[in-house]
Amino acid sequence: MKLFNFPLIVFPLFMYSQSGQIQSTLEIFDIETNERKIVLQEQAHFEAPNWSLDGSYFIINQNGLLYKVAVNGSKKELLPTGNLKNCNNDHGISFDGKFLAISNNDKIEGATSGTSRIYTMPISGDTPKLITPDYPSYWHGWSPDGKTLVYTAKRNDNFDIFSISSDGGEEKRLTDSPGLDDGPEYSPNGQFIYYNSMQSGKMEIWRMKADGSIPQQLTDDSYSNWFAHPSPNGRYFVFISYLEDQGDKHPPMKKVALRLYDLDNGDIRTLCEFTGGQGTINVPSWAPDNKRFAFVSYEEIGN
> In tens digits, what is the pLDDT along the chain, a chain of 303 residues?
333 332 333 333 333 333 459 999 999 999 999 999 999 999 999 999 999 999 999 999 999 999 999 999 999 999 999 999 999 999 999 999 999 999 999 999 888 789 999 999 999 878 999 999 999 999 999 999 999 999 999 999 999 999 999 999 999 999 998 899 999 999 999 999 999 999 999 999 999 999 999 999 999 999 999 999 999 999 999 999 999 999 999 999 999 999 999 999 999 999 999 999 999 999 999 999 999 999 999 999 875
Q: Distance between CA atoms of 153 and 103, rounded to whole angstroms?
A: 11
Residue 231 placed within a domain:
yes
| pLDDT at position 4 | 32
Residue 156 placed within a domain:
yes
Q: Which residues pair with 77 in a beta bridge?
A: 68
User: In degrees, to the nearest 5, what angle opens at C-alpha 40 toward C-alphas 38 and 42?
Assistant: 120
Q: Distance between CA atoms of 206 and 231, rounded to whole angstroms?
A: 16
Residue 152 placed within a domain:
yes
Q: Distance between CA atoms of 76 and 86, rounded to whole angstroms?
A: 19
Q: Distance between CA atoms of 178 and 200, rounded to whole angstroms?
A: 11
Residue 189 placed within a domain:
yes
| pLDDT at position 222 | 95
Residue 224 placed within a domain:
yes
| pLDDT at position 303 | 56
| pLDDT at position 19 | 46
Q: Distance between CA atoms of 135 and 144, rounded to whole angstroms?
A: 25
Sheet strand arrangement including 224-230: 224-230, 236-242, 254-262, 268-276
Residue 44 placed within a domain:
no
Residue 132 placed within a domain:
yes
**Count of the separate structural domains present in the chain:** 1
Residue 1 placed within a domain:
no
What number of CA atoms fall less than 13 Å from residue 175's CA on the CB side? 30
| pLDDT at position 126 | 81
- For 277-298, b where at least 16 C-beta lie within 10 A, e where not — what string? bbbbbbbbbbbeeeebbbbbbb
Q: Distance between CA atoms of 227 and 196, rounded to whole angstroms?
A: 6
Domain that holds residue 196: 82-287
Q: Do the strands 137-142 and 181-186 form a parallel or antiparallel pair, or are they unpaired?
A: unpaired
Largest CA distance in the chain: 52
Which has the closest alpha carbon to 233: 188, 269, 266?
188
Domain with 253 in it: what CATH number?
2.120.10.30
Residue 152: exposure state from Cβ atoms within 10 A (0-12, 13-18, ≥19): buried
DSSP single-letter state for residue 43: B
